[in-house]
Structure 1
Amino acid sequence: MPALLLAAAIGDAAPSEAEANFRIRAQALAADEACDLFAEPERRFLEAGLAQARRDLTAAGLESTRIEAALSRIRADRRMAACDSEPVRAIAETARAAAVEMLRQPTFPFQGTHRTWRVDRTRYDFVRWPVLQEMDGARFGRAVSVPDPNPRDRVDARETAPAFVIAGESEATSAVLVLRDGAKAPEPYDRTLAGLLPPPDGAAIARFSAPPHGERRVFASARLSPERARRLLSEGERAEAPASGFVFPEETLGLLAALAPNEAAAIELFDARGQRLARYWIEIGHLQAALDFAALPYEGYGVR
């Protein structure tokens, strides 16, 4: 399989979707470096797409050294510097069409095996969750909320941070995100030992999660007020259903995105006595792609 993947990545075999994405984005960026083909939003889209294609190839079994070799070969291809040639024009048109189609999408779902990351790039004045993963009775992602007290609901007072909210009142006084520590456990860890044991909580999503000897724990930095939690849970200014929630440090989503797509992390809730009340599982999935897409410009976008 790796040999076939490498051949496809450098153009010597019929490519799969991931391999085709790798090739067209690598070729487009190589041609752009020589010919200045794309507007900045298009270039950023292609860079994000190339990074995702590399992750997909790695997940499919291709060694990073072979991916780098394929990329170097594409960059060294002198045909990519022939700015007026038909091949370069065709590559540019294909890449630009894909970029424009995505850049014009205000929202997009990044579907995983068990969960979906949903991205909304419209203005923060109207969006509560630019990046969101939903689970039963709970939400986690990058949230936009208004601090209390703020009786006039001033737009310039809105705050953006990783957050977790659950439906209903809770006795939880603290929350901890538990994920794999790459320094202690360098590779994704199968908690079922290849199917010999049940996954944590009997949840299939938790099969690849932090082992006891390789945990990293990130503590919530603040607790959301009931009003802010209600608004984030319902995405409404006049939310009435009770809710609870916590804010996490800014680097939280980046730490999660560095894990493998098939992994999961847990948010554990504790009461004042230190007793664990509940545990919620988050699928890593295509979080990095979701973050990359969320960072791309949307309003006022145009192409040349």
Structure 2
Amino acid sequence: MRLRPLSLAALAAALLCGPAQAQSVAEVFGERSLAIAIDDRCHVFSDNERDALTASWLQARGTLLRAGHSSEDIRSTFDVITRRASTRACSSPEAQGVIAGVRSAYTAFSRMYALDYPGGARVWMAQRRRGEIPVWTLSQTLADEPQPPRFGLYSDPAGEVLSLSLVPAEPPSGVAIVLRDPERASEPVDPTLGGLLAVSGRPAWARLAPPRHAEARFWASGRRMVEDRLHFAFPESATEAIARLDPREAARIELYDARGRITGQLYVEIGDFAAALAFLAAGIDPSASAAPGG
């Protein structure tokens, strides 16, 4: 359901007049925006608390975008909150209440080993690494089949790498992930005009795929077998580029044969990739006693 344009603007004023109850995604976004504005000015949170706050803010922002709220309205609301927060002293009851709320929420957040980030069509599954056991710290399955392709961050003793995992009948010779290039297209492009037109060769949910006139292509820089699956590794720059995209967008993965011909395509929902990265960066409270995933 589309959010009313005035709901966030009204929230920005209300948040700075007293404590807020996080009863909706818009209110969560507002509360986290206010906390970020206070921290930017007062420098009150630890690095882990700041990463956790960023994860929550990004997830709320992504949900608002997928609900139909404009990125311009969200930016405007954040600016309003930041300006008005600047009039509150760091030691004021309002600021101290926000700081205490974030720290209380972080206590629970820091005990979580795993968290799912649902998007419009697919889910990012985030799992903090423990020990040296190989694990997908962040992954998305790309098809509904017994052994589906998997994309995300794969971690083992050698390090954490953005990877595509396949069990192909004929292994591709090369793989590239294609994203919108923000330098050539500052905003996502929708050739379907809001779903009114069909675009062949892509799933219906991938309306905001990389536009042909503004593509950035990142080639897999290595490959190896992990058990019975073929893993393609991508450069760190691809991870950074994905994190900068709009949560509503899709990325396209192209599979190439030895003659340079495209033999297959897969689509990745950008979703809350950046929020999940912040969740992983926030780390685990060493005093946590909760069971994994809880």
Any idea what the Cα deviations from partners look like across 1:109-164, whole Å, max 9, x if unmatched?
A: 0000111111111315124211111122111111124xxxxxxxxx4xx2321110
Distance in 1 of aligned mates of 2:61 and 2:267:
26
Q: Confirm or deny: 8 A CA contact 2:255 2:264 kept in the other structure.
A: yes
Closer/same/farther in 2, CA of residues 25 and 197 from structure 1, 3 Å limit? closer
More RCO (CA 8 Å, sep 6+): 2
| CA displacement at 1:68 relative to structure 2 | 1.1
TM-score in terms of structure 1 length: 0.78
Query: Greater helix percent: which structure?
Result: 1
Query: Per the alignment, in what secondary structure is the counterpart of residue 103 of structure 2?
Result: helix
How far apart are 1:41 and its partner, in Å? Answer: 2.7
Please say if 1:218 is aligned against 2:243. Answer: no
Contact 1:28/1:92 (CA < 8 Å) preserved in 2? Answer: yes
Q: Is the 8 A contact 1:140 1:164 kept in 2?
A: yes
Q: Using the alignment, how far apart are the partners of 1:45 and 1:197 within structure 2?
A: 39
Query: Do structure 1's residue 160 and structure 2's residue 176 form an aligned pair?
Result: no
Distance of 1:291 and 1:107 partners within structure 2:
12
Equivalent positions of 1:34-73 (< 5 A) are 40-53=47-60, 60-61=69-70, 62=73, 64-73=75-84
User: Out of 7, 10, 16, which is 1:4 matched to?
Assistant: 7
Aligned residues: 273
Question: Given the superposition, is the C-alpha separation of residues 290 and 200 from structure 1 closer, same or farther in structure 2, using an over 3 Å criterion?
Answer: farther
The equivalent of 1:281 in structure 2 is 267
1:96 Cα deviation after fit: 2.4
Q: Name whichever of 38-47 and 51-60 sits farther off.
A: 51-60
Q: Is the 8 A contact 2:58 2:272 kept in 1?
A: no
Shifted more, 27-36 versus 270-279: the winner is 27-36
CA RMSD in angstroms, aligned pairs only: 2.9
Q: After the TM superposition, which of the residue ranges 164-173 and 175-184 deviates more from structure 2?
A: 164-173
Measure, in 1, the Cα distance between the counterparts of 2:118 and 2:267.
Answer: 16
Pairwise CA distance, 1:10? 2.7
Contact 2:62–2:271 at 8 Å: present in 1 too? no
Assess, with a 3 A threshold, how the Cα gap between structure 1 residues 92 and 64 changes in structure 2: closer, same or farther.
closer
Question: Which amino acid in the other structure matches residue 266 of structure 2?
Answer: Y
> Structure 2 length normalisation: TM-score?
0.81
Separation in 2 of the partners of 1:268 and 1:187? 22
Q: Which residue of 1 aligns with 2:232?
A: 246
Match of 2:142 among 135, 140, 146: 135
Question: Greater CA radius of gyration, 1 or 2?
Answer: 1
1:211: how far off? Answer: 1.8
1:171 corresponds to? 171
User: Which position in structure 2 is the counterpart of 1:237?
Assistant: none
Query: What percentage of aligned pairs have identical amino acids?
Result: 30
SS at match of 1:297: coil
Q: Alpha-carbon deviation of 1:90?
A: 4.2
Residue 101 of structure 2 is matched in structure 1 by 94
The alpha-carbon distance between structure 1 residues 73 and 191, as it changes in their structure 2 partners (threshold 3 A), is same
The CA deviation string for residues 163-212 of structure 1, in whole angstroms up to 9 with x for no partner, is 10112343311001111112222221113233343234251232110122
